[in-house]
Amino acid sequence: MATRWLALVVILAGCAELGVVSDATSISVGRASRGYLLEGARLPDSGEGFTTRDVWRARDNRYGTDELVDLLVGVSRRMQRQVPEVRLVVADLSGVGGGERRAFHRSHQTGRDVDLLYYMRDAAGQPFEPDAMHTFNRWARSTDGSRVMIDVPRTWLLIKELLTAPEAAVQWIFMYQPIAERLIDYAEQAGEPPELISRARRTVKQPSDSARHDDHLHVRVYCATADRGYGCVDTGPMEMLADHASEPSPVDALMAALTTPAPSGGALASADPAAPAPAPAAPSAARGPADLGSVPSAIRGAAPATVGPLDAASVPAGLGRLLRTRVDHLSLRGWR
């Protein structure tokens, strides 16, 4: 009997870390500026639609919650279909175990924060992938004499993808307020839905207690539901989480696509060939593809064709990590 109890203690000890029993998915503990990260997922240095640079690769702050990494991979993939000329440059996430990284950040401690570089254009007006952060003024032009400028249409598309992403609920997108206002002005002129613009106004803000973020975007996601039970703490307004929770579940959409039978051949054959084709459904204001009608032709020409419901970019977040994993390394990390 004593041997059995000893074996049980050894097994439980192997599953426990800092008082938290892990289920092999990521666990974000504490506040963004006072906490740590367990079983964090590592974002690759490059992937479909995203990359990093040597300065951030050397720091190795490449770890985040499963939800944050899924968000970055999904958003980058969808951005590449809209703007294939350039990739999103991802700077720091958190360290391997989270915790303080005061040499670089006051927050970024719990795997729920990531820094992204603005999409940019060079002095000739051409889009490029920056290898460093540039400081921008209120007119979205660099202050270092390089004549680099923020690519407002592409950066707005990034904001839109972050705000409507199914992978995770974004709480904040921190940036210099004049730049935020410039992006929202662009969205209004482009005819974006009022509810999306309202969401952007609540989310895209200059932080009041840190640098003004005139050289990058800082994205923070809410605690995952399961992580709150382990001590993950959200600070600040919660309405964006409520908005995200009220939207249709992508899992339900996938199950509906898998279980809905295809139209029978007889039904198709009996259809009146002279009948007009049904009008395509209007895209959802919150999740539909970007309205590229007012985007410059260089971007508009790259807009993707309509894809089916089982396209990889529309796979629910819970399946994202499984489908990205090699067959000989299958893992259910992303499942709760």
Between 4 and 180, residue with greater pLDDT: 180
Cβ neighbours for 32, distance < 8 A, ≥ 6 positions apart: 107, 108, 109, 110, 112, 113, 220, 235
**Stretch 79-98: mean pLDDT, rounded?**
92
What average pLDDT does the structure give for the chain?
Answer: 75
Q: How far apart are the two ends of the chain, measured CA to CA in Å? A: 34
**Under a CB-based contact definition with an 8 Å cutoff, are residues 310 and 257 in contact?**
yes
Question: 329 phi and psi, to 5 degrees?
Answer: -135, 40
Reported as a pLDDT band with limits 50, 70 and 90, residue 264 is low
To which residue do tokens 């991979």 refer? 73
Position 285 scores a pLDDT of 42
Per-residue pLDDT at 328 exceeds 60: no
Write out pLDDT tens, residues 218-254.
999 999 999 999 999 998 776 666 566 656 555 555 6
Position 12 scores a pLDDT of 42
Write out pLDDT tens, residues 30-79.
998 888 999 999 999 999 999 999 988 988 889 999 999 999 999 999 99
Q: What is the model's pTM? A: 0.68
Closest CA to 21 of 223, 226, 221: 226
Q: What percent of the chain has pLDDT over 90?
A: 48
C-alpha angle 156-162-167 in degrees, rounded to nearest 5: 160
Q: Domains in the chain, ordered, with CATH?
A: 32-247 (3.30.1380.10)
SS3 state of residue 5 = helix
Return the bridge partners of 51, or none: 46, 89
| Length, in residues, of the chain | 336
CA dist 223 and 241 (Å) reads 9
HSE, CB side, 13 Å, CA atoms: give it for residue 101.
Answer: 24
**Under a CB-based contact definition with an 8 Å cutoff, are residues 294 and 191 in contact?**
yes
Reported as a pLDDT band with limits 50, 70 and 90, residue 172 is very high
Per-residue pLDDT at 147 exceeds 60: yes
Angle between helices 152-164 and 66-82 (to 10 degrees): 140
Angle between helices 177-189 and 152-164 (to 10 degrees): 90
Position 269 scores a pLDDT of 40
β pairing state of 27-31 and 127-128: unpaired
Closest CA to 218 of 180, 247, 192, 181: 180
